[in-house]
Amino acid sequence: MNLSDLEPKAKEIIQRYDQRRAATLPLLWLVQESFGYVSPEAERWVGGLVGTTVSHVREVVSFYTMYRTAPAGRRELRVCMSLPCLLRGANDVPHEIEKRLSIRPGETTPDGELTLTEVECLCSCEIAPMAQLDEQFVGPLDKGALDDLLGGLTREPEPFITTDGPILSTRFKDPGGTWFDAYVKDGGYTAAKKALSMTPAAIIEEVGKANLRGLGGAGFPAARKWSFIPKDSPKPKYLVVNADEGEPGTFKDRYILERDPHALLEGMIVAAYTIGSHKAYVYIRGEYFRSAKRMGRAVEEAYAKGWLGKNIQGSGFDLDVVIHRGAGAYICGEETALLSSLEGGKGFPKLKPPFPAISGLFQCPTIVNNVETLSCVPYILRHGAEKFGSIGTPKQGGTRLFCVSGHVNRPGVYEASVGVTLRELIEKHAQGVRGGRKLKAVIPGGISAKILTADEIDVRMDFDSLIAAGSMAGSGGVIVMDETTCMVDALESASNFFHHESCGQCSPCREGTGWIHRILRRVTDAKGQMGKLQDLEDLLAIASDMEGKTICVFADAAAWPVQSYIAKFRGEFEEHIRTGKCVRTSEAVA
Amino acid sequence: MIKLTIDGREVESPEGSTVIQAAEKLGIFIPRYCYHPGLSIAGNCRICLIDVEKNPKLQIACNTPVAPGMVVHTMNEKAEDGRRAVLEFLLANHPLDCPVCDQSGECDLQNFYMNFGLYDPRFREQKVKKKKAVALGPHVMLDQERCILCSRCVRFSDEISKTGEFGIFNRGDRAELGLYPGVVLDNPYSGNVIDICPVGALTEREFRFKARVWYLSSAPSVCNGCSTGCNIDVHFVLDRPHLNDGARVLRLKPRVNPDVNEWWMCDEGRFGFHWIDRERLTKVRHRGADSKWDAALSGIGADLAKLTKIGVIASSQLTTEELFLIREIFQSKLGARVAAPALKPAGKGDDFLLEADRNPNTRGAKLLGLDGTDAASLVTDALEGRLEALWVFGHDLTSMVDAKKLQELSQKLRLFVFSGTNESPTASFAHWVLPTAAYVEKDGTFVNKKGRVQRIGRAFPPLPDSREDWSLLLEIARRLNQPLSFRKPQEIFLGLADAETPFAGLSYETIGLQGAQLKA
């Protein structure tokens, strides 16, 4: 096969997008899926097709972790090394693989069969420690599971996933997914039908009354965001779905995409109609192969049943949906970075102003909504704002899919009112700290959120309560740490993540994340006491210098763990530096 | 206009302008690395942080639109602490190899550290290692470690040269500036990235290690490379001949002129200055033997006084003042036939700065009416005995006729003068060879293709034993007993302005450093 054979497919891909350059990522995927890697010839080919120079194609290829520029093994095993997996023993996984296959991360078995890669969070912390073999998530990787995996046997993981609803999880029962007929049988698309007969203003009012907040992490009122779209703009308007789930400790959107994709589509139809958009893009993180496939299947069904395309259900409203895959970059979860990426560039957050609602995708008015947020919308229209609102708190309606990982007896996805307390989530839903150990700390909303200590867990999980408690609800990813956790190691892991994922655009973040990580690596170095107490002061100063000085809040998110871990566990940090010992090395850990 | 307050001072700035621009109107300089007025806004370096009242976070001045009643502080504690923090980050992985860096002395990392940083270093980790001394093309050398990833060069190659060679590859602190493997940075405007690089990441290959920039003198001038007349600064040394094998000019830099070249110039103009210090004519020669100015002027003056059939091949490389003198002396007083053709043949132009006409003053010659006579016809006339005297300013006639014919021409003419800056095959056939000054060695004006008159200034004096053409021409007039009242180019220009309507009312003062548009 050569590149010219791909041209018909390439043309088909390009015509999905309103600008050619936006086809860059899918074309690179096409090349990699066809040849196993992206060759220099392919980079030139893609540059020619999308109308950019080869240097800019290489910028993209080198920015995302999933594109390979050299051939690799027939299969690839990506082992997650992020904090939630580390808490459950991920450190052992590469060693165990090395014992069995004699390859280290970055290497390929001599027979060319398997390439081993270490990656940052794959957002499957419910099955930690986990890995991804090509497209398939596998875990928890205890020794038996690892043997099976390397022996060619992949089992579908069976973590605990809530199915009780009331809003988001009622159709999570079938691991194979809820498809059109089942969705409609369950009352699906009645909300969209209703919306298409309403005025956009009435929809905004209803969703506003429901107090639906943005569940990607920022908690911005969804209806208010929609109202920012200028009504008199002659430009096309875009709805973009942020399905770039990447926050370590978060794995909720994947279940919506894979088990209830029509709920998202229905929410999208309502949102697009409300903002006057006729084209919506769903940006799904690159590692979510199956999510993209299932979402694609749902889109096909919806077209076939007249819920997408021209003149939806005779309403006169048109909507096209394009599924777009990322390629390995946490930062693309930031809404403007996502737009840069969708436009075919590196995932660089954009300067604000202008805000996306005024000038977003392709310089047109754009609304970016999270998967979970949009999936709440059909419920609101079907059951009314009051009912949705009554489930939550006075300022935030509804439920969330809380993701509980780390040292709990039953990691998993739990739907609960946004007013649930952190204690209930840990003790009731996740069945408490594993092995009867004592709770030490909890990250309540994904790795960026400030850490809480064991006596701070009576806080409610809504956005406002957690802000008042000095942390944030973020993505709803609850990472639990028991008494065996070394907080210095945990912070080192978090800082490694931010160092790895900083896009490198703004100097404070680019340099600060690396600087913090280097200090912490030195402090935690197994070779002994390389740290100084001054390092703690430096870490705090660097974190403070990074805060509030960059285009997006990634730098702030990287600073918060440093500040909160050191503030709340100062004694442990000092002890670690003074003696070189920590709970991890001084006590037996199962 | 929007009214706002910056550092306690009110200023009006157009709607849509930014705080960094409004501050400039007040003479307040906000430091910048990624911001460049000629490029799109990137906002990545974060050094231009300012404190805007009622805003909890510091904002970047380059992307903060002015708003009515906005109160901005650029120098309060909060803003200064923000800048200190950013600078510390920028220098964290910077190699600090200033003692061996060409940018030293004109480096914004150095300058802003002295102005705004002044913190004690606390970076004690291993710095990121990247590639050093990577030749990107014929003119530009890259040091990836010094690069602060401001992306000015990337934006230049995307937006101005539209060649797109640069990229910033990888991400986070692994990000590095470079070209795609095999790509060569040889676009006609590549040198500009050296100017806009705020640090020592992109340096000029030719200039590298030649001189510390603080040894350089600088003088404003205008490029003589084509009829665009890009404004330039001539960087030279006179007192350290060891730095550059005695050559005085070390580099040319574009000088900002929004009406002509903005911030840019082409590589052909930028790097085409070596003739100024190479193979120069340094001696008056008479029929192949060294002679003296006095002898030459007497001899030539006496001949011109006697002869009646005179031809002059002037050139559009001469200043307007010189062309005016040639017209006044030769055409008006001696009745000579004067042509002022292009000295350099037309090249390839583009749709940006470079014009096909590679001569700086074609328009000036035309305005003086010196474009009517054809140089070739003068040569033919000389060959066919219809001319007694021919004065050639700089042209190489071997481009029109072969050496044998030139020999014949030399024999037929009673007087054959070649005046010019550099050795030329024509010089060996001329009866008299007069060494004259290069454009950077004399004052005067060029009129560019758009009718803008611009001063070329005088960076430094002519080489010993050579003379400015205007001075030589005034001397000839004296020897002909028809002295002109001018003593220097400024006065010649005033005379010209009196005589020629398009120049009416102009003087060197009104032309200034940015030139003046002539009346149509």
Q: Is the dihedral of CA A503, A509, A513, A519 positive or negative?
A: positive
Q: Do the Cβ atoms of A229 and A275 come closer than 8 Å? A: yes
Buried b (16+ CB within 10 A) or exposed e, B314-328: bbbbbbbbbbbbbbb
Look at residues A213, A337, A222 and name the one whose alpha carbon lies nearest to residue A270: A222
Minimal C-alpha gap between B182 and chain A (Å): 10
Question: A43, B180: Cβ pair inside 8 Å?
Answer: yes
Per residue in B316-350, pLDDT (tens digit) is: 999 999 999 999 999 999 999 999 989 999 999 99
Interface membership of B102 toward A (CB under 8 Å): no
Name the token pair of A195.
Answer: 């919306």
- Above 80 in pLDDT, residue A227? yes
CB within 8 Å of chain A, chain B residues 175-214: 175, 179-181, 183
What integer best gives the mean pLDDT of chain A? 96
Question: Does the pLDDT of residue A177 top 90, yes or no?
Answer: yes
Find, among A118, A136, A115, the residue nearest to A127 by Cα.
Answer: A136
Give the residue-averaged pLDDT of A568-577: 93
Contact A504 B168 (CB under 8 A): yes
As a whole number of angstroms, the distance between CA A120 and CA B172 comes to 14
The DSSP call for residue B467 is B
pLDDT at B286 over 60: yes
From the list B44, B49, B165, the residue facing A505 with the nearest CB is: B44
Percent of chain A with pLDDT over 70: 98
Do A55 and B165 meet the contact criterion of CB atoms below 8 Å apart? yes
Closest by alpha carbon to A372, among A288, A296, A268, A229?
A268
What value does the mean pLDDT take over residues A318-337? Answer: 98
Q: With beta carbons less than 8 A apart as the criterion, state whether A89 and A143 touch.
A: no
Angstrom distance (rounded) from CA A286 to CA A245: 10
Q: Is the per-residue pLDDT at A3 higher than 90?
A: yes
The confidence score (pLDDT) of residue B373 equals 81
* Burial tier of B54 (Cβ tally within 10 Å: 0-12, 13-18, 19+): exposed
Tell me what pLDDT residue A154 has: 85
d(C-alpha A273, C-alpha A295), whole Å? 20
Beta bridge pairs of residue B285: B290, B433
Residues 6+ apart with CB under 8 A from B283: B290, B291, B433, B435, B465
Q: What is the pLDDT of residues B221-244, one digit of tens each?
A: 999 999 999 999 999 999 998 988
Asked if residues A450 and A561 have their Cβ atoms less than 8 Å apart, the reply is yes
User: Spelled out in words, what is the top-level CATH class assigned to the domain B2-92?
Assistant: alpha beta
CB A186 within 8 A of CB A179: no
- pLDDT at residue A529, rounded to an integer: 66
The residues pairing with B319 across neighbouring beta strands, listed in sequence order, are none
Q: Are A351 and B43 in contact (CB < 8 Å)?
A: yes
Quick: pLDDT tens for A32-70.
Answer: 999 999 999 999 999 999 999 999 999 999 999 999 999
Chain A residues with beta carbon closer than 8 angstroms to that of B92? 511, 514-515
* Rounded Cα gap, residues B356 and B353, in angstroms: 10
- Please indicate if any CB of chain A lies within 8 Å of the CB of B96: no
Closest C-alpha among A38, A60, A46 to residue A13: A46
Q: For the domain bounded by B285-517, which CATH number is listed?
A: 3.40.50.740
Contact residues on chain B for A502, CB-CB shorter than 8 A: 171-173
Q: Which residue of B lies nearest to A541 if distances are taken between CA atoms?
A: B85
User: Any CB–CB contact under 8 A between A24 and chain B?
Assistant: no
CA distance B217 to B91: 29
Domain residue ranges in chain B: 2-92, 125-209, 285-517
pLDDT of A247 above 90:
yes
Cα(B154)–Cα(B160) distance, integer angstroms: 10
Check B164 against A515: CB less than 8 A apart.
no
**Alpha carbon distance A508, A553 (integer Å):** 11
Question: What is residue A526's predicted lDDT score, i.e. its pLDDT?
Answer: 65
Q: Residue A293 corresponds to which tokens in the numbers above?
A: 């496939």
Count other Cβ atoms within 10 Å, centred on residue A239: 30
Report strand pairing: B445-447 vs B452-455.
antiparallel
| Closest among B262, B232, B233 to B36, alpha carbons compared | B262
Query: What residues are paired with A590 via a beta bridge?
Result: none
What pLDDT digit, counting tens, does each position of A281-290 carry? 999 999 999 9
Alpha helices of A186-305 — where are they, by DSSP H? 190-196, 200-209, 222-227, 253-259, 261-275, 289-304
Distance between CA atoms of A122 and A413, rounded to whole angstroms? Answer: 15
pLDDT band of residue A531 (cuts 50, 70, 90) is confident
Q: For residue A500, which residues of chain B lie inside 8 Å, CB to CB?
A: 172
Listed residue (B256, B255, B211) closest to B236, CA to CA = B211
Mean pLDDT score, B495-502 = 96
> pLDDT grade, residue A341 (50/70/90)?
very high
Neighboring chain A residues of B122 at a CB cutoff of 8 Å: 538, 541
Amino acid at site B146: R
Report the alpha-carbon distance of residue B176 to residue B170 in Å, rounded. 7
Cα dihedral sign, B176-B177-B179-B180: positive
Say yes or no: A545 contacts chain B, CB-CB below 8 A: yes
pLDDT above 80 for B268: yes
Residue A550 contacts B, CB cutoff 8 Å: yes
Helix (H, G, I), strand (E, B) or coil at B478: helix
Q: Give the residue among B171, B197, B173, B209 at the shortest CA–CA distance from B39.
A: B197
Give the pLDDT confidence score for residue A581 in this predicted structure: 75
Please give the order of strands across the beta sheet that includes B231-236.
Answer: B217-222, B231-236, B249-254
Instruction: Please state at what angle helix A533-546 crosses helix A507-524, rounded to 10 degrees.
Output: 160
3-state DSSP helix/strand/coil % of chain A, to nearest 5: 45, 15, 40
Would an 8 Å CB–CB cutoff place A548 in contact with chain B?
yes
Contact B172 A515 (CB under 8 A): no
Name the minimum distance, in Å, from the CA of A521 to any CA of chain B. 10
Among B41, B166, B170, the residue with its CB nearest the CB of A62 is B170
CB contact under 8 A, A504 and B164: no
Distance from CA of B252 to the nearest CA of A (A): 29
Nearest CB to A504: which of B58, B122, B171? B171
- Provide the shortest C-alpha distance from residue B80 to chain A (in Å): 12
Strands (DSSP E) contained in A81-206 are 114-119, 131-133, 136-138, 160-161
Say whether B386 sits in a helix, a strand or coil.
Answer: coil
Residue of A58, A351, A503 with shortest CB distance to B180: A58
Angstrom distance (rounded) from CA B137 to CA A181? 63
E-strand ranges in B195-239 read: 202-204, 217-222, 231-236
- Give the distance from residue A337's alpha carbon to the nearest chain B alpha carbon, in angstroms: 13
pLDDT at A527: 63
Distance from CA of A76 to the nearest CA of B (A): 21
Quick: pLDDT tens for B36-90. 999 999 999 999 999 999 999 999 999 999 999 999 999 999 999 999 999 999 9
Distance from the Cα of B49 to chain A's closest Cα (Å) equals 8
A522 touches chain B (CB under 8 A): yes
- Amino acid A584: pLDDT: 65
Percent of chain B residues topping a pLDDT of 90: 95
Which of B18, B40, B44 is the best mutation test for A, with the most CBs of A within 10 A? Answer: B44
Contacts of A346 in chain B (CB under 8 A): 168, 171
Chain A residues touching B148 at Cβ < 8 A:
507
Assign domain B125-209 to its CATH architecture: 2-Layer Sandwich (3.30)
A27 Cβ contact partners less than 8 Å away, ≥ 6 residues apart = A10, A13, A14, A46, A49, A50
Find chain B residues with C-beta within 8 A of A510's C-beta: 89, 149, 172-173, 175
Cα B380 to Cα B413: distance, rounded to the nearest angstrom: 12
- State mean pLDDT over A433-448: 96
Question: All domains of chain A, ordered by start, with CATH?
Answer: 3-63 (1.10.10.1590), 75-158 (3.40.30.10), 161-391 (3.40.50.11540), 399-482 (3.10.20.600), 487-586 (1.20.1440.230)
pLDDT greater than 60 at residue B193 = yes
- pLDDT of A588 reads 39
Does A530 touch chain B if contact means CB atoms closer than 8 Å? no
pLDDT at A564 over 70: yes
Size of interface A-B (CB pairs under 8 A): 119
> Residue B397: left (phi > 0), alpha (psi -120 to 50), or beta?
alpha
